[in-house]
Amino acid sequence: MENKLYIGNLSYDTTEDELRVLFSSAGTVTSVTLIKDRATGRSKGFAFVEMSTQEEAEQAIKALNGASLGNRELKVDKARPPEDRSYGKYDSRSKSSGYNRDRKSGSGSRRY
């Protein structure tokens, strides 16, 4: 995981090949994953690049953080593990969301 980098502030027109070429200047690129919207297939403006060693990943951060690609200033940092995607007691996917239990019975719109 230390070899995986987060690349942010990408132009929506950036391709995986452009990233591979750019990051190969810092070492051996083992994978490039451009994150795309599922519905439209359009880039979300960020990607993950995996380098072959931790040293190459650190070199890429030093060399390419703030570099320009497609008139955009890149944000390059170590990738973090994905966060827990649960939404707490109001998560509609859980059996007891807590929403109805917390509300008082009635129409919700009262005049006094």
Per-residue pLDDT of 89-112, as tens digits, reads: 665 655 554 555 555 555 555 554
Assess contact for 7 and 65: CB atoms under 8 A. Answer: no
Domain 4-78 has CATH 3.30.70.330: yes
Per-residue pLDDT reduced to its tens digit, 7-32: 999 999 999 999 999 999 999 999 99
Contact 81, 1 (CB under 8 A): yes
* pLDDT (tens digit per residue) in 31-83: 999 999 999 999 999 999 999 999 999 999 999 999 999 999 999 999 998 88
Burial 64-95 (b: 16+ CB within 10 A, else e): beeeebeebebebeebeeeeeeeeeeeeeeee
Distance CA 80, CA 109 (A): 45
Tell me the domain boundaries of the chain.
4-78
pTM for this entry: 0.73
